[in-house]
C-alpha cells in the first residue's frame, strides 16, 4: 500500500472494515446507524505516508523530535489534527442532541444522562461504566488521530482519568483494536448542545474492540 491511489480512500476503508467486523460479531449492534466521517481519517504523514511506524520514529529521532508528535515534511501538524477532533466533537454533540434530547423531556436540560459520572463501573464487563447512560456512540479511528484526540480530551477539556493512570500510557499510541471509553455529559443552552462533564473509564484496552460478543 506504499503506492496508494488515494490515501484517504484507503484510510477510510480500513475504518469501515473495522466497523463491519465489530457489527458482524456483536448482536447488540443490530440496526445501528453507520456513519463514515472524513474528520476521523488518519493524520497525513506527508512524505512518510505508507511507511512503517518504525520508519517515522527514526525520522523523528533524526530531526530531534518525539513521536507521535513529529510532523514529516508535507504532513499534517498536531494542531491541524486537533482541529478535526474539535470539529468532529462539535458536530457529534449537535447531531446526538438533536436526535435524542426530545426523548428526555424538558425537566432535564443539563445532562445527557441520569446516571452521574461518579458511578462506579463494573470492571471488565462489556457495559463497564455505561449502565444507565441512554446514548452510546462507538467511534473508530486511527492511531495518531486517536492519540491527538485523547490528548485534547485530557489537556483541553479537562477529562478526568482512572485512578493510578500513567500519563505516558494515556498519551501513547493505542494498540490495534484497542478500546478506550469516555463518559460525556452535555447540556443544552440557547438551542445548542455543549459538553459539561467528561470522565475516562479506561484507555487503550488491548483487543477490546473484538472481545464482547453479547
Task: Collect all residues with Cβ–Cβ distance below 8 Å to 135 and sequence separation of at least 6.
Answer: 96, 100, 112, 113
The span from the CA of 94 to the CA of 35, in Å, is 15
Residues 6+ apart with CB under 8 A from 83: none
The pTM of this model reads: 0.78
pLDDT of residue 154: 96
**Structure confidence at residue 103 (pLDDT):** 58
- Separation between Cα atoms, residue 183 and residue 128, nearest integer Å: 11
More confident residue, 110 or 186: 186
Distances (CA, A) of 35 to 38, 129, 145, 166: 10, 24, 18, 33
In a domain, 1, yes or no: no
Q: Is residue 94 assigned to a domain?
A: yes
> Residue 106 falls within a domain, yes or no?
yes
Residue 15: band (very low, low, confident or very high) from pLDDT cuts 50, 70, 90: confident
β-partners of residue 182 are 200
Q: Is residue 204 part of a domain?
A: yes
pLDDT level of residue 209 (50, 70, 90 thresholds): low
pLDDT band at 183 (very low <50, low <70, confident <90, very high): very high
Per-residue pLDDT reduced to its tens digit, 29-48? 667 777 888 899 888 999 99
Q: In the predicted model, what is the mean pLDDT of the chain?
A: 80
With respect to residue 2, please indicate whether it lies within any of the assigned structural domains. no
What is the mean pLDDT of the segment spanning 118-133? 62
- Contact present, 146 and 181 (Cβ < 8 Å): no
How many separate domains does the chain show? 1
Please, are residues 153 and 182 in contact by the beta-carbon 8 Å criterion? yes
Residue 119 lies in a domain: yes
Cell of 50: 505508507
- Residue 79, domain member (yes or no): yes
Vertex 32, ends 98 and 178: CA angle to 5°?
100
Residue 135: inside a domain, yes or no? Answer: yes
Q: What was the pLDDT predicted at 104?
A: 58
pLDDT in tens, 76-105: 999 999 999 999 999 999 998 888 877 555
Q: What is the CATH number of the domain that holds 112?
A: 3.40.50.1240
Q: Is the predicted pLDDT of residue 1 greater than 50, yes or no? A: no
In which domain, by residue range, is 32 found?
7-210
Amino acid at each position: 500500500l506504499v503506492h496508494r491511489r488515494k490515501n484517504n480512500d484507503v484510510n477510510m476503508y480500513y475504518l469501515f472494515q473495522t466497523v463491519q467486523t465489530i457489527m458482524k460479531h456483536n448482536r447488540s449492534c443490530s440496526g445501528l446507524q453507520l456513519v463514515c466521517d472524513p474528520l476521523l481519517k488518519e493524520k497525513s504523514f506527508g512524505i512518510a505516508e505508507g511507511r512503517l511506524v518504525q520508519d517515522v520514529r527514526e525520522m523523528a529521532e533524526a530531526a530531534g523530535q518525539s513521536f507521535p508528535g513529529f510532523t514529516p515534511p508535507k504532513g499534517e501538524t498536531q494542531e491541524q489534527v486537533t482541529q478535526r477532533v474539535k470539529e468532529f466533537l462539535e458536530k457529534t454533540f449537535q447531531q446526538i442532541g438533536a436526535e435524542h434530547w426530545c426523548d428526555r423531556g424538558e425537566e432535564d436540560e443539563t445532562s445527557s444522562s441520569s446516571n452521574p459520572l461518579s458511578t462506579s463501573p463494573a470492571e471488565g464487563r462489556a457495559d463497564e461504566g455505561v449502565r444507565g447512560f441512554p446514548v452510546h456512540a462507538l467511534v473508530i479511528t486511527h492511531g495518531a488521530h486517536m492519540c491527538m484526540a485523547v490528548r485534547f480530551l485530557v489537556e483541553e477539556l479537562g477529562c478526568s482519568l482512572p485512578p493510578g493512570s500513567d500519563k505516558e500510557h494515556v498519551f501513547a499510541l493505542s494498540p490495534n483494536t484497542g478500546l478506550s471509553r469516555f463518559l460525556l455529559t452535555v447540556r443544552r443552552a440557547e438551542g445548542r448542545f455543549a459538553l459539561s462533564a467528561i470522565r475516562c473509564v479506561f484507555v487503550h484496552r488491548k483487543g477490546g474492540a473484538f472481545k464482547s460478543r453479547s
